[in-house]
Chain A
Amino acid sequence: MKVTVQYFALLREQRGLTQETLETTAPTPAALYEELRARHAFTLPADRVRAAINGEFAAATAALRAGDTVVFIPPVAGG
């Protein structure tokens, strides 16, 4: 299935992109993150990244569907 991934902050820099649409068989955000982390050598381990699907926080084990937009959220640091 095709999903869109948006990147911010550290992940945007490590990926070198703000957004991409890609083909994956990953059933969950956790699985998709591991796939991308292996491909792009992201330094953040999965347990330090939260997921959002279609603009709302989602569990790492939530079901991914074709057409979803996924954001992986590095540790936040507002203020």
Chain B
Amino acid sequence: MFRISTDSIDPATLEAALTDARAGACVTFCGWVRNANDGQPVLSLEYEAFAPLAEKEGERILAEAREKFALLGVAAVHRVGHLQIGEAAVWVGVTAAHRGAAFDACRYIIDELKARVPVWKKEHYASGASAWINCATR
């Protein structure tokens, strides 16, 4: 299940929901808001999504991961709203019988989510400036 969330991400609760007696591996990834980007101090990040299509595309990515890797469970959440340094922006969790599939699937999912899901982020800098990432035109 992939969803866009306006509420803060709770990794422990999300991981607990993947509990499976058949699983020998659980790999999770959590993306945090970092205090700098490209050498510029960052104060906060604002995330926005086209939620209906983001959730559709996210579900497609999870389905692809299930096809490519021998998984038992899979879930991912992307946060939207105004986030402070250290807050969780995205979480991915997968379970599998063995670690290889779990590591590979987790990496696949986060890479595809970042490349394909209609989510945008705006960085607010210590200088007072702000910018939508990947949208610079010069």
- B53 near A57 with CB under 8 A, answer yes
Tally of contact residues, B, Cβ under 8 A: 28
Task: Mark each residue of chain A from 22 to 54: 1 if its CB lies under 8 Å from any CB of chain B, else 0.
Answer: 000000000000000000000111001000100
Taking a contact as CB atoms under 8 Å apart, the answer to whether B56 and A56 are in contact is yes
A76 touches B53 (CB 8 A): no
CB-CB contacts of B84-114 with A at 8 A, as 1s and 0s?
Answer: 0000011000000000000000000010011
Indicate if the CB atoms of A77 and B133 lie closer than 8 Å.
Answer: yes
Q: Is the CB of A10 within 8 A of B135?
A: yes
Query: Does any Cβ of B come within 8 Å of A16's Cβ?
Result: no
Question: Which positions 28-53 of chain B face chain A at CB distance < 8 Å?
Answer: 31, 47-50, 52-53
A9 touches B135 (CB 8 A): yes
Measured CA separation A79–B117 after assembly (Å): 10
Instruction: Tell me if B137 counts as interface (CB < 8 A to partner A).
Output: yes
Q: Tell whether, in the assembled complex, residue A55 and residue B120 are in contact, meaning their CB atoms are under 8 Å apart.
A: no
A76 in contact with B137 (CB, 8 Å): no
Chain B residues with Cβ below 8 Å from A60 are none
B134 within 8 A of partner (CB): yes
CB–CB A76/B117 < 8 A? yes
Bound CA–CA A71/B51 (angstroms): 12
In the complex, whether B118 has a CB less than 8 A from a CB of chain A is: yes
Residue ranges of B at the interface with A (Cβ–Cβ < 8 Å): 31, 47-50, 52-53, 56-57, 78, 89-90, 110, 113-122, 132-135, 137
14 pairs across A/B with beta carbons < 8 Å?
A: A10-B135, A55-B52, A57-B57, A71-B118, A73-B118, A75-B135, A76-B119, A77-B114, A78-B49, A78-B78, A78-B120, A78-B121, A79-B114, A79-B119
User: Told that A8-B50, A55-B56, A77-B119 touch, could you supply 19 new A-B pairs with CB distance under 8 A?
Assistant: A8-B48, A9-B48, A10-B120, A10-B135, A12-B48, A44-B137, A52-B118, A71-B50, A74-B120, A75-B134, A75-B135, A76-B118, A76-B134, A77-B121, A77-B134, A78-B113, A78-B117, A79-B114, A79-B119
